[in-house]
Structure 1
Amino acid sequence: MTQALNLDLAKTALVVVDVQKGIVGYDNIAPIDGQTLVARNNELADAFAAAGATVVLVRVRNTGREGFNPLTDAPHAAAKPTDESFTELALDVKDNQDADVVIVDKHNWGAFYGTDLDTQLRRRGIDTVVLTGIASSIGVDTTAREAAQAGYNVVFVPEAMTDLSLRAHEFVTEVIFPRLGKSRTVAEVLAAVK
């Protein structure tokens, strides 16, 4: 049995990684589809915003000259040309004028390197990040490692994550994430926020 989650919302931010229209529409994601991913993340983001906590919406802008294009053996889906709708955020919380919503544009796998995310969190006194998003094994995992290395406490919500590979999702959620922080269900996080 997992220990109840206690969050100091003045020091906690929900960080939603790459839940954007150009990615949630992929048909090969697992374990949950894009519609379920958006619904669960909207529920979490709305709860954090209603409680006065910080919500960070991270989006990858990975096209053209700013694209992350390493020399790899595997095809790199994000390197394909896309239009601006690719980066459009899929969550509704961005429209809440009263919420503390931070939008971070990243050009790499993680949300910290090459962005102002760390500065934005530290200025708000944040010491804990609650991570969700897509892909569990890429953007979320890299952001989690960067957060842990920067001294943040990390809470994962695997039910609000999905991936381009079920095997990769299962590996990071079962093997890597327990070494970096705590994993909790959507219901457990919502209970800690309300």
Structure 2
Amino acid sequence: MDESGFRYDPRRCALVVIDMQNDFCSPEGALAGCGFDVSAAVAMTPRLAELIDRARRRDVPVVWVRTEHDETTDTPQWLGRVGTGPGTARTGLTCRPGTPGADFYGVRPEPGEPVIVKHRFSAFVGTDLDGVLRSRGIESLLFTGVATEICVESSLRSGLFHEYWVSLVEDCAASYSPAAHAASVAVVAQNFGTVVTADDLASMWVARPITASTP
């Protein structure tokens, strides 16, 4: 069996959407206000929306991950992780609960789709994501969202360490730096999982029969 038979089987895989939120993606969001270039996230969003629609039509579970930060999750170490002071827009004032910046950008969950709230880069740290996935029989994770080299890659690495097959959908992930995105894609391909495109997945979901067992 080739790897598409188990990595991308709709009965085994889930599409994981990381941090598609206004503060991270919108030109009016907090990171754009700090000078981060969100143009890649803006350009990627319609392609991700199309992939999400395809996943739903193929009954591939869509799992949403969003970030929230507040005084109960902030620590001096976390707020100061990039050498800036506590309370700056770069580190401390993104995705505060109940603010427009924490809301979804361009895509959003449908009723019944799980939404995981995280407070650190990895979607597995301090969350019930692993239990949500295992309760649905998920064995393989297809990662999308922002930022490629930060929360997407951190979550993908954690997924492998939790014994999932992991893949990066490279044209449905975005960074604030083309070089950082390219470097992350290369690191994933060399060390952690496979790299695919949205069109690759669409073709495999149409062409491949649903398989019955993991090799």
1:89 partnered with 2:104 = yes
Give the AA of the match of 1:60. T
Judging changes above 3 Å, is the alpha-carbon distance between structure 1 residues 40 and 117 closer, same or farther for their aligned structure 2 residues?
Answer: same
- Which one of 40, 51, 59 corresponds to residue 33 of structure 1? 40
Partner of 2:145: 133
Q: Identity across aligned pairs (percent)?
A: 23
**Residue identity opposite 1:126 in structure 2:** I
- Aligned partner (choices 170, 180, 183) of residue 192 of structure 2: 180
Q: 2 CA distance for matches of 1:92 and 1:176?
A: 25
CA offsets, 1:41-76, max 9 Å, x none?
A: 111111111111210111110233323624334447
TM-score, normalised relative to structure 2: 0.78
Q: TM-score, normalised by structure 1?
A: 0.86
Count of residues in Structure 1 that have an aligned counterpart in Structure 2:
188
Structure 1 residue 21 displacement after superposition? 1.7
Give the conservation status (yes or no) of the 8 Å contact 1:60–1:105. Answer: yes
Q: Where in structure 2 are the equivalents of 1:39-188 lying within 5 Å?
A: 39-67=46-74, 69-75=78-84, 77-80=90-93, 82=96, 84-95=99-110, 97=111, 101-188=113-200
**Structure 2 vs 1, CA of residues 67 and 132 (structure 1 numbering), >3 Å: closer, same or farther?**
same
1:1-20 to 2 correspondences below 5 Å = 5-6=4-5, 7-20=8-21
Amino acid at match of 2:205: V
CA distance in 2, matches of 1:93, 1:80: 22
The gaps in structure 2 that reach 5 residues or longer are: 207-215
Please identify the structure whose Cα radius of gyration is greater.
2
Structure 2 counterpart of 1:94, which letter?
A: P
Q: Which amino acid aligns with 1:16?
A: V
